[in-house]
């Protein structure tokens, strides 16, 4: 029965299976939060090693950590093989200088070492898997021990699964059945207890043999890689291997791209003034582009990374991390070989993700203030950091129009001059006096000399405060743009590299570095002041249920459709539809009443269909679909929450 | 907390239970020095052991007893642990409880509540692009279940086919191949990955797929309600200790300070008192299909 779904859905001939699937999942306010994969330590380390060895330059210190973990795991089940592995990679690992995070970019020696380490690591994983499988087979009489061995072997198998799924789909299925056969045979033996179960034993042995042969034949001692290109564990020895298969990029274990919950409250200046967002077309287009991975190139597009992934609702996403590209959560190296190899700057320089609130007041842009123009900065992000095509000027204008609307949080403790008002605490007022106090260590300047209170706590200049490691002893490449202190309570970690986790830590660092001579009490007061300046009203939304707001925002995206149609911006229309479809699919699992999942599915399908019709140039059909989408949204808006 | 039980007939025993001594009288008179609890691991056993540590600490504080906990990775081990008295209490599915009851006199203490209900259902999942739309389409196909003695992962899924009159003889004659994947996630992934044509598993298995994967899998049928998983005490467990254990976990329903512990206990919403009578339908189905002799 489709009671909640209504006429439109039924009229479109929603398949019965979808209708039956309406209550499949328990409602969750965090449905769009993707949990990390539950991988065996061996699989985790191997997948990270693969990711690291394909970076340029290779982060050898990280590789070494995971090589150690691989060895540790192998030692648990096959000590002799572990010794052989250590001996095989030892020469390359010994070359690592623990003081250095990387070797010189793309050196021939580094590439050769990477190939050797990858080959040996692949074989070590295969050895681990086979040792657990053999162990299980030798202990078939003890079914529980055997089950544990099989389960461990299967989890180690996950090291290779992604590549096999795409490059050898026939074997992927066949071996998937073999793993099922192993667990099945063991569970049947458990059920049968001590009774002889020769059928199960034979089934087990046959399945184990097929897995063993495949792993040995492809990833065992004869494992070979292609002469060039990405280092990958591909099953080249398999008869059904497809050499030309496209294998989607996968981020290493330990990554996190989930956005924070509760969601930061976003302040758009025109919305704060009561202007209907649907009347601000260019801003609507920019809002869509900010949420769209389709303005970027590969691999960001496939990984569904958009501006909003890192700058969630305009502020820092403190949980964002990609091992190998980040030192810590909340930062990433966007000038590495991963996102846009052609724009690789050749050294590891992850940056703390900046808060974009109040961005129209915070020029110059980039941590080192390398761009005076926001337009140039945003274009550089799209084209050179995330490998996107040259953006349409209208899209770029839209993004700028949208970003310029980001407001600072209102702060009830600050006068327009930037001075604290009487609502602020005594400690904060004492801290304010310290903030304005000249220090010898600052060359007679005060904190307020750079963080000018009347200018949104900025001086729009670049200073070398000693946090950047330069290219040489007397190099002049260490200056950073002065960051604002507004909203800073919500943007931890701090400094360009996120090396300070608290504001107290930041003040301590300044006190030590510049010999300010502040007492413990004074430091506390100064911290109270900075926290007060960095405070804001309702920094986060007060609900975990975000679907209703998201659906409203998607309608806002669509409000640019007519303008784009008149302007002949077909590509931008297509990006808009595809982005809405993608976003609905990402957020639909948040729906509190799963009976409305089919409505959300249908809305996503409509956008996908509209995108296809747009590509085919059937504008009347597109008009009709857009009208239908809007009608659905109007009809169900109060229930899609 | 509002609780919906599987069907009306289950309310009666609950009311009756309030009038009768809550737990069986055949128990040891000696207070144990420690309480041994066995948990069933649906996924990573080591992770489960770590996750339940705060619960164990809470129980030790509340019961004033040393609580030892361990993990079993299959249902048979749980039943065995209660039977051979290596565990005093254990978390298990309804069919394992009935087996433990019949084989070793175990009795239930608490039923788990999810989404306001002390029951759930099994479903038959297929890939959306498989072309399979109804149960009869699965004749001659492959299917994954969880475990040969699983309630929601075998017995009730089989019951779906039998109730629909699709399956009348031995399941092996209807399906081309039956697998026991060993876990809910392995089963639902076996469908997602096209290793099998279908899986018969508990409804919440679907949530074990990642959000982007869920659209590939659909349910084509569901079972009658299954009483939810339960905490079971072994026969002979010191009765006051069993009652204190029951009370301590039941208290989490309304204990704002410790309520967060529920998320470590299979992420339940809470507990409800149960008696053997709540499992009479499970017992009846189990007997009729030969799961219980």
Tell me, what's the pLDDT at B28?
58
User: Cβ contact (<8 Å) for B219 and A190?
Assistant: no
Indicate yes or no: CB of A34 within 8 angstroms of CB of B210. Answer: yes
pLDDT of residue A191: 61
Q: Does residue B31 surpass a pLDDT of 70?
A: yes
Query: For testing the chain B interface, which of A184, A186, A194 should be mutated: the one with the most B CBs within 10 Å?
Result: A184
What DSSP designation does A256 have? B
Span B260-272, average pLDDT: 90
Residues of A in contact with B77 (CB under 8 A): 144
Which chain A positions have a beta carbon within 8 Å of B47's beta carbon?
38
Helix (H) or strand (E) holding A319, with range, is: none
Q: How far is CA B51 from CA A37, A382, B110, B267, in A?
A: 17, 42, 20, 11
Write down the mean pLDDT value for chain A: 91
Confidence category of residue B172, pLDDT binned at 50, 70, 90: very high
Identify which of B136, B142, B137 has the alpha carbon closest to the alpha carbon of residue B164. B136
Q: According to the model, what pLDDT value does residue A5 have?
A: 36
Looking at the complex, report in whole angstroms how far the Cα of residue B97 sits from the nearest Cα belonging to chain A: 16
In chain A, the percentage of residues whose pLDDT exceeds 90 is 80
CA distances A369 to A336, A522, A562, Å, are 19, 31, 38
pLDDT of A103 strictly over 90: no
Token pair 């413990």 is at which residue?
Answer: A520
Provide the pLDDT for residue B7: 36
**pLDDT score for A4:** 34
Cβ B214–A25 below 8 Å, yes or no? Answer: yes
Q: How far lies B194's CA from each of A207, B85, B144, in Å? A: 17, 41, 11
Among candidate residues A306, A298, A295, A211, the one with its CA nearest the CA of residue A246: A298
Packing angle between helix A143-167 and helix A198-219, nearest 10 degrees? 40
Q: Which of A16, A165, A173 sits opposite B133 (nearest CB)?
A: A16
CA neighbor of B42 nearest in space, from B197, B195, B229, B290: B229
Report whether B136 contacts B160 (CB < 8 A).
Answer: no
How confident is the model over B233-240, as a mean pLDDT?
A: 93
Query: Residue B213: is it exposed, middle or buried by C-beta count within 10 angstroms (0-12/13-18/19+)?
Result: middle
User: Taking residues A465-474, what's their average pLDDT?
Assistant: 91
Q: Is the dihedral of CA A490, A496, A497, A499 positive or negative?
A: negative
Tell me the nearest-neighbour CA distance from B241 into chain A, angstroms.
Answer: 31
Alpha helix stretches (DSSP H) within A291-327: 307-310
Write down the pLDDT at residue A105. Answer: 53
Mean pLDDT throughout A39-56? 96
Average pLDDT over residues A535-549: 90
Helix axes A41-53, A143-167, angle to 10 degrees: 20
Choose among B74, B218, B219: nearest Cβ to A190: B74
CB of A547 within 8 A of CB of A539?
Answer: no
Of A27, A31, A165, the CB nearest to B211: A31
Q: Give the model confidence (pLDDT) of A341-368 as tens digits.
A: 999 998 899 999 999 999 999 999 999 9
Decide if pLDDT at B4 tops 80.
no
Residue of B nearest to A18 (CA): B218
Closest residue to B220, CB basis, from A20, A144, A190: A20
Mean pLDDT, range A194-211, rounded to an integer: 83
B-chain residues within 8 Å CB-CB of A171?
none
Averaged pLDDT for residues B227-243: 94
Distance CA A83, CA A85 (A): 5
Q: Which residues of A touch B147 (CB under 8 A)?
A: 187
How would residue A3 be classed by pLDDT, with cut points 50, 70 and 90? very low
Task: Count CB atoms within 10 A of the CB of residue B42.
Answer: 20
The size of chain A, in residues, is 641
Question: Chain A contacts of B135, Cβ < 8 Å?
Answer: none
The tokens of A204 are what?
Answer: 């087990």
Q: Where residue A26 falls among pLDDT bands split at 50, 70, 90? A: very low
Look at B180 and A187 and tell me if their CB atoms are within 8 Å: yes
What are the helix (H) ranges across A78-142?
79-94, 108-138
HEC secondary structure over B36-48: EEEEECCCCHHHH
Higher pLDDT, A194 or A394: A394
pLDDT at position B11, please?
32
Question: Is B179 in Cβ contact with A184 (below 8 Å)?
Answer: yes
Provide the pLDDT for residue A106: 61
Mean of pLDDT values over B192-211: 94
Residue B72 has a pLDDT of 86
CB contact under 8 A, B133 and A586: no
Tell me how many helices (H) and strands (E) chain A has.
23, 4
Give the residue-averaged pLDDT of A411-433: 97
Q: Which tens digits make up the pLDDT trace of A567-612?
A: 999 999 999 999 999 999 999 999 988 899 999 999 999 999 999 9
So what's the pLDDT on residue A102?
52
Q: DSSP secondary structure string, A453-520?
A: GGGTT--S-EE--S-S--SSTT-S---EEPPP-TTGGGS-SBSTT--B-SHHHHHHHHHHHTT----H
Contacts of B76 in chain A (CB under 8 A): 190-191
In three-state form (DSSP H/G/I as H, E/B as E, the rest C), the secondary structure along A338-375 is CCCHHHCCCCCCCEECCCCCCHHHCCCECCCCCECCHH
Structure-block tokens of residue A465:
């405060």
Q: What is the pLDDT of residue A124?
A: 98
Letter string b/e over residues A129-165, b meaning 16 or more CB atoms within 10 A of that residue's CB: bbbbbbbbbeebeebbebbbbbbbbbbbbbbbebbbb
Residue A453: Cβ within 10 Å count: 20
> Among residues of chain A, what percentage have pLDDT more than 70?
92
Q: Which of A102-111, A147-156, A380-389, B6-15 has the lowest mean pLDDT?
A: B6-15
How far does A160 lie from chain B, in Å, by closest CA? 15
Kindly report, residue by residue over B125-169, the tens digit of the pLDDT. Answer: 999 999 999 999 999 999 999 998 888 999 999 999 999 999 988
* Residue B15: burial class (beta carbons within 10 Å; 0-12, 13-18, 19+): exposed
pLDDT at residue number B1? 37
B179 and A180 within 8 Å at the Cβ level: the answer is: yes
Do residues A598 and A22 touch, judged by C-beta distance below 8 A? yes
Query: Cβ–Cβ of B195/A21 closer than 8 Å?
Result: no
Residue B26 has pLDDT above 90, yes or no: no
User: Which residues of chain A does B148 touch, with a Cβ-Cβ cutoff of 8 Å?
Assistant: 187-188, 190-191
Instruction: Render pLDDT for B37-69 as a digit per residue (tens, 0 to 9).
Output: 999 887 677 778 888 899 999 999 999 999 999
> Residue B190: which of A21, A147, A176 has the nearest Cβ?
A176
Provide the shortest C-alpha distance from residue A194 to chain B (in Å). Answer: 13
Contact A176 B144 (CB under 8 A): no
A208-235: pLDDT as tens digits: 999 999 999 999 998 988 877 899 999 9
Confidence class of residue A13 from pLDDT cuts 50, 70 and 90? very low
Check pLDDT > 60 for residue A25: no
> Is the interface score ipTM higher than 0.90?
no
List residues in chain B touching A: CB distance below 8 A. 43-44, 47, 73-74, 76-77, 114-115, 123, 126, 128, 133, 142, 144, 147-149, 178-182, 186, 190, 193-196, 203-204, 206-207, 210-212, 214-215, 218-221
Phi-psi region at A314: left, alpha or beta (left = phi > 0; alpha = psi -120 to 50): left
How far does chain B reach from its first CA to its final CA, in angstroms?
Answer: 37
For residue A17, pLDDT over 60 is answered with no
Which residue of chain A has the CA closest to B149?
A: A191
B133 and A190 in contact by Cβ < 8 A? no
Nearest CA in chain A to B219: A21
Closest by Cβ to B195, choosing from A147, A180, A191: A180
- Give yes or no for residue B96 having a pLDDT over 80: yes
Looking at the predicted structure, is the pLDDT value of residue A36 above 90?
Answer: no
Region for residue B199 given its phi and psi (left: phi exceeds 0; alpha: psi -120 to 50; beta: otherwise): beta
């Amino acid at each position: 029965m489709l009671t909640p779904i209504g006429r439109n859905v039924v009229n479109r001939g929603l398949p019965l299976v979808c209708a039956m699937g309406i209550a499949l999942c328990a409602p969750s306010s965090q449905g769009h939060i993707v949990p990390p994969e539950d991988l065996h330590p061996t699989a985790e380390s191997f997948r990270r090693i693969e990711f690291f060895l394909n970076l340029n330059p290779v982060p050898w210190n990280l590789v070494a950590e995971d090589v150690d973990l691989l060895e540790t795991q192998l030692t648990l089940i096959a000590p002799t093989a572990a010794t052989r592995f250590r001996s095989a990679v030892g020469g390359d690992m010994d070359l690592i200088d623990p003081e250095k995070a990387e070797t010189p970019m793309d050196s021939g020696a580094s590439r050769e070492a990477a190939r050797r380490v990858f080959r040996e690591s692949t074989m070590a994983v295969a050895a681990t898997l086979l040792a657990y499988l053999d162990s299980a087979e030798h202990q078939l009489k003890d079914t529980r021990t055997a089950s544990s061995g099989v389960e461990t072997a299967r989890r180690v198998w996950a090291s290779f699964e992604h590549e096999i799924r795409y490059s050898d789909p026939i074997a992927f299925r066949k071996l998937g059945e073999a793993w099922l056969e192993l667990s099945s045979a063991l569970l049947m033996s458990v059920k049968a207890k001590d009774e002889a179960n020769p059928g199960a034993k034979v089934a087990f042995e046959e399945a184990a043999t097929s897995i063993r042969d495949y792993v040995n034949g492809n990833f065992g001692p004869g494992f070979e890689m292609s002469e060039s290109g990405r280092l990958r564990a591909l099953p080249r020895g398999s008869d059904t291997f497809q050499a030309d298969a496209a294998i989607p990029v996968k981020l290493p274990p330990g990554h996190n791209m989930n956005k924070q919950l509760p969601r930061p409250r976003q302040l758009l200046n025109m919305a704060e003034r009561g202007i209907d967002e649907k009347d601000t077309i260019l801003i609507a287009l920019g809002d869509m582009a900010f949420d769209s991975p389709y303005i970027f190139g590969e691999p960001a597009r496939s990984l569904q990374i958009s501006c909003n992934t890192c700058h969630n609702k305009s502020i820092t996403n403190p949980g964002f991390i990609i091992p190998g590209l980040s030192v810590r959560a909340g930062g990433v190296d966007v000038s590495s070989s991963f996102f846009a190899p052609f724009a690789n700057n050749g050294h590891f320089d992850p940056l703390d993700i900046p808060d974009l609130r109040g961005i129209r007041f915070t020029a110059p842009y980039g941590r080192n203030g390398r761009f005076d123009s926001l337009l140039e900065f945003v274009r550089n992000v799209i084209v050179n950091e995330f490998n996107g095509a040259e953006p349409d000027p209208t899209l770029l204008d839209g993004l700028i129009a949208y970003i310029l609307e980001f407001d600072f949080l209102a702060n009830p403790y600050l006068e327009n001059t930037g001075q604290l008002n009487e609502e602020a605490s005594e400690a904060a007022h004492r801290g304010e006096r310290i903030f304005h106090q000249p220090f010898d260590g600052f060359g007679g300047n005060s904190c307020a000399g750079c963080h000018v209170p009347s200018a949104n706590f900025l001086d729009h200049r670049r200073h070398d405060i000693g946090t950047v490691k330069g290219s040489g002893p007397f190099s002049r490449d260490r200056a950073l743009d002065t960051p604002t202190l507004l909203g800073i309570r919500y943007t931890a970690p701090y400094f360009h590299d996120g090396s300070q986790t608290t504001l107290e830590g930041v003040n301590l660092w300044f006190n030590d570095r510049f010999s300010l001579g502040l007492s413990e009490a004074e430091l506390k007061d100064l911290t109270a002041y900075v926290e007060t300046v960095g405070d804001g009203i309702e920094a986060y939304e007060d609900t975990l249920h975000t679907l209703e707001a998201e659906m409203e925002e998607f309608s806002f995206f669509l409000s640019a459709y007519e303008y784009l149609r008149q302007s002949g911006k077909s590509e931008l229309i297509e990006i808009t539809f595809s982005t809405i479809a993608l976003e609905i699919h990402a957020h639909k699992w948040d729906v509190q009443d799963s009976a409305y999942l089919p409505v959300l599915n249908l809305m996503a399908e409509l956008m996908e269909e509209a995108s296809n019709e747009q590509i085919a140039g059937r504008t009347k059909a597109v008009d009709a679909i857009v009208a239908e989408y809007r009608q659905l949204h109007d009809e169900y808006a109060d229930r899609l929450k | 907390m509002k609780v919906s039980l599987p069907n009306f007939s289950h309310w009666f025993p609950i009311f009756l239970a309030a009038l009768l001594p809550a737990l069986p009288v055949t128990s040891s008179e000696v207070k144990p020095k420690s309480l041994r609890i066995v948990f069933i691991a649906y996924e990573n056993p080591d992770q489960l052991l770590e996750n339940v540590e705060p619960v164990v600490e809470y129980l030790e504080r509340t019961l004033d007893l040393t609580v030892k906990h361990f993990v079993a990775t299959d249902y048979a081990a749980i039943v065995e642990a209660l039977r051979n008295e290596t565990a005093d209490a254990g978390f298990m599915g309804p069919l394992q409880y009935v087996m433990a009851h019949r084989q070793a006199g175990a009795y239930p203490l608490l039923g788990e509540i999810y989404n306001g209900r002390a029951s759930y259902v099994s479903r038959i999942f297929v890939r959306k692009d498989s072309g399979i739309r109804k149960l009869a389409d699965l004749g001659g196909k492959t299917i994954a279940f969880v475990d040969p003695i699983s309630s929601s992962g075998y017995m009730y899924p089989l019951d779906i086919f039998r109730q629909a009159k699709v399956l009348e003889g031995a399941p092996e004659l209807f399906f081309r191949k039956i697998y026991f994947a060993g876990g809910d996630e392995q089963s639902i992934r076996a469908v997602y990955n096209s290793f099998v044509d279908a899986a018969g598993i508990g409804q919440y298995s679907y949530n074990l797929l990642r959000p982007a994967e869920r659209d590939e899998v659909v349910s084509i049928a569901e079972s009658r309600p299954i009483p939810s998983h339960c905490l079971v005490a072994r026969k002979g467990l010191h009765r006051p200790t069993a009652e204190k254990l029951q009370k301590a976990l039941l208290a989490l329903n309304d204990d704002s300070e410790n309520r967060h512990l529920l998320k470590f206990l299979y992420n339940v919403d809470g507990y409800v008192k149960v008696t053997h009578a709540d499992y009479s339908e499970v017992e009846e189905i189990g007997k009729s299909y030969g799961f219980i002799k």
